[in-house]
Amino acid sequence: MIEIGIEVDLFHPSETVWRALTEPALLAKWFAESTPPEQPERLLLRTAGLPGFDADVEATVVERQAPQRYVLDCREGAQRTRLTCQIVPAGHGCRLSVQEVLVDGEWDAERHARRSEHHQQAVTVRLPAILDWLAFQRVDLRRAEGGLTAELPVVRLIGDVRTRAGRRRAGVIGGGLAFLVLAGGAAVWLTRPAPRIPEATPQSTPLLQPSSTSSAPLGAPSRTAPTAARSSATASPSPSPSPSPTLSTTAPTQSPSTSPTPVALLTARYQTVSDRLFGYRGEVKMSNAGDAEKRDWVVAVTLAAGATINNVNGAEWRQDGQVVTFTGKAVPAQGSTTFRFDVRDTFTKAPEGCTVDGSPCEVQ
């Protein structure tokens, strides 16, 4: 059985997520356009030409439990799939699980990969952008004393100061109507290219320092001189021109040579792959230039004050204040691995710092 499964944590209530799944006007903004159904439980999704789709999808609602479960029987030409959306409330909002299972027909590997990538981008990038926009529409900028909506952090007013990287920043919310117009235009349906952020260290600075027990330069494994070579260095400087009659005919015993110990050379690169009105999506790619796999690595990302993380793909994680610690499977020799994560942060679009095993990450 071929299937595609995606799970994402959202900082929005279940009712808002349900609207984005079931209202055609919102569904068109993050997944696909749909035509007005002739029957309430049937709809036509305009998916022809989208990655992984060959034709439009005729969908029939087979289960609808608002705002928790939404199941569609989808027909695309000769193929039939079952699409299931499950919404579970969580402390910060809700968790959305989307699963599509191929019931009849076949998918080749390329089509499955393209369809899976489309679903991943739709659910983890475009859908959160639409939800952020819906939440922003509910903001009343004049309710300074009573707070904002349950979906938004409290926006700080004139005179309130946030500190980031040792510098003071004043968040001034003045001219509320002008800000609302600008933010409404900025909340686009698709994410824009990620902005560049200041480099943590100059490009010429090595990202991973060699071990203190080795004098080899970065990128070169430590080497141990073979014992046999050391023995030949201590030989007599004036050997006899002819063999001595008293010498044994048995060849001298030499110590076996010592092979160089495989070394793992791990570096990491951070980039903000997309940003939204209330946060951004970050990516860390680790590369191992050594000749041994790297186990037990630790990547530490320092977020801005008040930021929270969720929806991590490709690594295990734990947040302690501003610092998020990532761990995961071994990085193969001469290979790489990548993980991504979403950050809820209204004011900044990048973390304050990133290290791998204590050494700075490259920032792209």
pLDDT at 73 over 90: yes
pLDDT at residue 278, rounded to an integer = 77
pLDDT tier at 313, thresholds 50, 70, 90? confident
Confidence of residue 263 (pLDDT cuts 50, 70, 90): confident
Question: Does 51 lie in the same domain as 114?
Answer: yes
In a shared domain, residues 30 and 118? yes
For residue 207, the number of C-alpha atoms closer than 13 Å in the C-beta half-sphere is 23
SS3 at position 136: helix
Does residue 158 share a domain with residue 76? no
Give a yes or no: residue 17 inside a domain.
Answer: yes
Highest mean pLDDT among 99-113, 184-198, 256-270: 99-113
In the chain, % helix, strand, coil (3-state, to 5) comes to 15, 35, 50
* Domain shared by 298 and 354, yes or no: yes
Residues 11 and 128 in one domain: yes
Kindly state whether residues 14 and 123 are assigned to the same domain.
Answer: yes
For residue 143, what are the domain limits?
Answer: 138-162+170-188
183 with 80, same domain: the answer is no
Judge whether 155 lies within some domain: yes
- Domain with 95 in it: what CATH number? 3.30.530.20
Residue 116, in any domain of the structure:
yes
Q: Is residue 324 part of a domain?
A: yes
Instruction: End-to-end CA distance of the chain: give it in Å, rounded.
Output: 39
Q: List, for residues 113-166, the tens digit of each pLDDT value.
A: 899 999 999 999 999 999 998 888 776 555 444 444 444 443 333 334 343 444
Kindly state whether residues 351 and 279 are assigned to the same domain: yes
Q: What pLDDT, on a 0 to 100 scale, did the predictor assign at position 42? A: 87
Residues 248, 363: Cα–Cα separation, whole Å: 65
Note the pLDDT tens digit of each residue in 283-303.
999 999 989 999 899 999 999
Q: Residue 15 domain-assigned?
A: yes
Q: What is the pLDDT of residue 1?
A: 58
Q: Is residue 156 part of a domain?
A: yes
Q: Are residues 359 and 329 in the same domain?
A: yes
73 to each of 60, 62, 86, how far by Cα in Å?
5, 7, 15
The residue among 230, 290, 287, 294 whose CA lies nearest residue 258 is: 230
**7 inside domain:** yes
Are 31 and 116 members of one domain?
yes
In a shared domain, residues 40 and 152: no
In contact, 10 and 94? CB cutoff 8 Å: yes
Q: How many domains does the chain have?
A: 3
